[in-house]
Amino acid sequence: MLSKTMQEAINEQIKHELYSAYLYLSMAAYYEANSLPGFAHWMRLQAQEEQSHALKLFDFVVDRGGRVTLQAIAQPPSEFQSPRQVFEQVLEHERKVTSLIHQLYALAHQENDYPTQVMLQWFITEQVEEEKNAAQILDTMQMAGDKGQALIMLDRALGQRGKG
d(CA 111, CA 21) in angstroms, rounded, equals 29
Q: Which domains does the chain have, with CATH numbers?
A: 4-158 (1.20.1260.10)
Residue 164: the pLDDT is 65
In tens, the pLDDT along 67-114 reads 999 999 999 999 999 999 999 999 999 999 999 999 999 999 999 999
Q: Which residues of the chain have pLDDT under 50?
A: none
pTM to 2 decimals? 0.94
Angle 133-164-98 from CA coordinates, rounded to 5°: 20
